[in-house]
Structure 1
Amino acid sequence: MNSDIRELEPVSLWNKFADLNAVPRASKKEERVIQFMVDFGTKLGLETITDAVGNVIIRKPATEGMEDRKMIVMQSHLDMVHQKNNDTVFDFDTQGIDMFIEGDWVKAKGTTLGADNGLGVATIMAILESNNIEHPAIEALFTIDEETGMTGAMGLEGGVLQGEILLNLDTEEDDEIGVGCAGGIDVTATRSYAEEDTPEIKTGYKIEVKGLQGGHSGMQIHEGLGNANKIMNRLLFDGFENFGLRISEIDGGSLRNAIPRESVAMVAIDSVHEEAFVHEMNLLASSIKKELKTMEPELEIEFSEIETPQSIMDLGVQEGLTRAIYAATNGVYRMSADIPDLVETSNNIARVIVKDGQIKIGCLTRSSVESSKMDLANALRATFELTGCEVEFSGSYPGWTPNMDSAILKVMVDIYKQQNNGEEPHVAACHAGLECGILGTNYPEMDMISFGPNIKGAHSPDERAQISSVQKYWKFVLEILKNIPKA
């Protein structure tokens, strides 16, 4: 079906997207896609360099008559989030994304699509390869590892880029022009615990939470989507309170920037309470599904008898763990007082692992206000430290402060209105981590903006890109390039 994608308009963009999606490109495993981009630039005869951390920069001179315009940086990230459905057999390390068309949407078969940020990369590639698109001098900046640490943007040294305007092609609503974003920090809680032999009077059960939508832990954190780790914790907490449930293992969630879709726990209960346990747990599961039925109609919560686990957690540690996860903030912490409808600060309890005497809880805390980000991070730290966990902060990156006097913003607003019957674009900051804030630390004078086509369900196997929106966006890009201000 990927051949059908290549026939979509604009053909040059979709062909580059199909080429890119044939290359495995997980975060922190970008060697092949880096080489792919280097080969692409070199084949075109353009100046192509790779910096110390792996970012690729390709420079293309201005087209005739555009030499007097400001040089621009067109920027997108090479890596993509790797997520798949439980029943999908797929090896992200060796296989290209299998795409198909459904109505006005391009989707992937059981996996993430890579439209985030592959459509941005493909846009830049199509422009670099073109010989009939008007544009000023371009520095194409392809960064690495945006999704799991933004180490590419962090590692880009000052003085490498010469452009005065940066167009970041990593926004996911085609009526939005991004002028700001949230910063973030990883919060990780760990501790060891003693394991106990499981008493013979206990019966083993597996609890599964699955079928949740998942999604982007920044852009979708306000939507009321279910978090598999929080749902599982409710079940474990109730099971212990009423039936003395003891935990053997938990494996919930995956990536920090994805709202967790699934969680599995292996537990042991007193055999004498088995019938009452199953009845009570199914009642609780029904209540949870009823709560979330509007946003999570496919939620499944299953209980199945298994061979009794050989060991269980120390009782005191288990009580502390379930209470801490219950108490820990998940979702929106504070809305912005300055920008309507913008989430200012949030947290995603992304990963919970309990196994072999070790606990690890991974969170991603985001905020457009640095002090609020650290306030929530410290609240989480205090919550987990009360249970005896050690808490580490890592991967902190800054937000991007809006500049409403941006010259390129004014140009883009005018073009958008001209192309859309006078409709005003939505000029906004977003609650996601864009690289602009980081790049701005070494290039503080650069005028930056972010935009892109409609992409839904990013960071989940439901990710999809709207064909008609890509056409609208491409038209917008071409007109922007024609109207870059003079130097």
Structure 2
Amino acid sequence: MSSEIRALEPKQLWNKFADLNAVPRPSKKEERIIQFMKDFGKNLGLETIEDTVGNVIIRKPATKGMEDRKPIVMQSHLDMVHQKNNDTVFDFDTQGIDMYIEGDWVKAKGTTLGADNGLGVATIMAVLESDTIAHPALEALFTIDEETGMTGAMGLKGGLLKGEILLNLDTEEDDEIGVGCAGGVDVTATGSYDEQNLSSEGRKTYKIEVKGLQGGHSGMQIHEGLGNANKIMNRLLYAVVEDISISEINGGSLRNAIPRESVAVVVLDDDKEDILISVLTALSTTIKQELKTMEPDLQIEFSEIDFQTKVMPFAAQLQLVNAIYAAHNGVYRMSPDISDLVETSNNIARVIVKDGHIKIGCLTRSSVESSKMDLANNLRATFELAGCDVELSGDYPGWAPNMDSDILKVMVPIYERLNNGGKPHVAACHAGLECGILGQNYPTMDMISFGPNIKGAHSPDERAQISSAQKYWKYVLEILENIPKS
């Protein structure tokens, strides 16, 4: 199906995206894509370097007549979120993405597409390769590990880049110009318990499954009312906590993805079976009714399985279920300054209970540092009351808006001209862009973020809009040709 993708317009963009998606590039395992990008730059005869953490920088001189313009940096991240449906057989470490076209959208078969941020990377590659696109002196910055820690942006040293304007191509709405973003911090609770052994006599083991949720980006989509599999599972367990013993829980996946699936294994006495089925059936109906608009495909299933002997002690499981119930998930505070912007939120992304160990992973985001730490401490207190140890890690800053930006003053009128007077939405976003981190070592750099329409990022429903990519590509070319003079 790659040939159909390559035939799409603009061919420069889609061909580079197809090249990119043939290379496995999950976060933390970017060795192959780093080498791919270095080979790409060197084969073009351009100055190409890899810095100390694995970021790749490719420099291209200004095209004729553009030498007097401000030098720019075009930036995107190389890694992608690796999510797949449970029934999809796929190895992100060895396989390229299997893409197909459905109407006006490019999708992947049962996995994330990698348009986040692959379309941005492909854009920069197309500009680097072209001998007809006008642009000023250009540094292409390809960062690593954006999705699981932003270690590439954090490790980029000051003084390495010479550009005065940075174009970040990691926004997912084609009518939006990003001028700010949220910071974030990982909140991880861990605990342990002494497993108890139960006899199978007079007891059964049931598996409870929550699946069919949409999932999605835990920042950009946190306000949409999507179901969180970990919270739904915990609500089910809370309803029957007096009648079960928890053997294990496995819910969610990546910290920046709203969890789509959760599985719990519980043990109960034979005479509690009817109670369990009755209570869970009624509650499942209620939850599905609550979420029917946003989650029409939600499934909650419970079935008897082979007996499991090891379970949590009742006191430990009660503390766990109460803590997850109390832990905040979703929007914590809306911005009082920017209309419709989520200021602070949390995603309970991962819950693992097995073999005497508990691990709960959250990603807390905010555009206000004090609010971010307020919510992080709220979560810390909640899980510490349940006897867990809590660690805050991976803290990264937000990006403060600059409404007096020179590149913003260029981009707004270009957008209006290309779109028959339609105005772009100039806004901060509730996601972790690398601009805030890069700005720490490059405080005078003028930064902006934009991109094509990408829906369902961080989930197997991820899709990129073909018509939007065409609109976006024209915008990119106009911006490059109209960079302000030095």
TM-score class, shorter-chain normalisation, is over 0.9
Q: State the match for 1:417 in structure 2.
A: 416
Q: CA RMSD in A?
A: 0.6
Give a deviation string over 1:191-236, Cα, whole Å, max 9, x none: 1101111243321100000000000000000000000000000111
SS in 2 for 1:415: helix
CA shift for structure 1 position 308: 2.1
Under a length normalisation based on structure 1, what TM-score does the superposition of the two structures give? 0.99
CA shift for structure 1 position 161: 0.2
Q: Check if 1:228 corresponds to 2:205.
A: no
Give a deviation string over 1:80-108, Cα, whole Å, max 9, x none: 00000111111111100000000100000
What is the alpha-carbon distance in structure 2 between the residues aligned to residue 451 and residue 355 of structure 1? 42
- Asked whether the 8 Å contact 2:181–2:433 carries over to 1, the reply is yes
What is the alpha-carbon distance in structure 1 between the residues aligned to residue 147 and residue 306 of structure 2? 39
What is the alpha-carbon distance in structure 2 between the residues aligned to residue 168 and residue 276 of structure 1? 55
SS in 2 for 1:117: helix
Give a deviation string over 1:109-161, Cα, whole Å, max 9, x none: 00000000000000000000000010000000000000000000000000000
Q: State the match for 1:245 in structure 2.
A: 244
Q: State the match for 1:257 in structure 2.
A: 256
- Asked whether the 8 Å contact 2:331–2:346 carries over to 1, the reply is yes
Alignment of 1:323-402 (within 5 A): 323-402=322-401
Q: State the match for 1:469 in structure 2.
A: 468
- Asked whether the 8 Å contact 2:288–2:298 carries over to 1, the reply is yes
Any unmatched runs of 5+ in structure 1?
A: none
Q: State the match for 2:150 in structure 1.
A: 150
What is the alpha-carbon distance in structure 1 between the residues aligned to residue 384 and residue 263 of structure 2? 25
SS in 1 for 2:258: coil
Q: Once structures 1 and 2 are overlaid, which stretch shifts more, 274-283 or 297-306? A: 274-283
Q: State the match for 1:219 in structure 2.
A: 220
SS in 1 for 2:36: helix
Q: State the match for 1:94 in structure 2.
A: 94
Give a deviation string over 1:343-385, Cα, whole Å, max 9, x none: 0000000000000000000000000000000000000000000
Alignment of 1:405-444 (within 5 A): 405-444=404-443
What is the alpha-carbon distance in structure 2 between the residues aligned to residue 461 and residue 94 of structure 1? 18
Q: State the match for 1:114 in structure 2.
A: 114
Give a deviation string over 1:155-174, Cα, whole Å, max 9, x none: 00000000000000000000
Q: State the match for 2:320 in structure 1.
A: 321
Amino acid at match of 2:229: A
Amino acid at match of 2:53: V
- Asked whether the 8 Å contact 2:239–2:279 carries over to 1, the reply is no
Q: State the match for 2:481 in structure 1.
A: 482
Q: State the match for 2:170 in structure 1.
A: 170
Q: Once structures 1 and 2 are overlaid, which stretch shifts more, 285-294 or 171-180? A: 285-294
SS in 2 for 1:337: coil
Give a deviation string over 1:262-290, Cα, whole Å, max 9, x none: 00011011111212221221111111111
Amino acid at match of 2:108: A
What is the alpha-carbon distance in structure 2 between the residues aligned to residue 171 and residue 322 of structure 1? 37
What is the alpha-carbon distance in structure 2 between the residues aligned to residue 139 and residue 127 of structure 1? 11
What is the alpha-carbon distance in structure 2 between the residues aligned to residue 330 and residue 2 of structure 1? 39
What is the alpha-carbon distance in structure 1 between the residues aligned to residue 347 and residue 372 of structure 2? 13
Q: State the match for 2:284 in structure 1.
A: 285
CA shift for structure 1 position 2: 1.2
Amino acid at match of 1:445: T
SS in 2 for 1:475: helix
What is the alpha-carbon distance in structure 2 between the residues aligned to residue 203 and residue 337 of structure 1? 52
- Asked whether the 8 Å contact 2:210–2:301 carries over to 1, the reply is yes
Residue identity over aligned pairs, in percent, reads 79
Q: State the match for 1:49 in structure 2.
A: 49
What is the alpha-carbon distance in structure 2 between the residues aligned to residue 138 and residue 230 of structure 1? 46
What is the alpha-carbon distance in structure 2 between the residues aligned to residue 276 and residue 257 of structure 1? 36
- Asked whether the 8 Å contact 2:210–2:233 carries over to 1, the reply is yes
- Asked whether the 8 Å contact 2:186–2:395 carries over to 1, the reply is yes
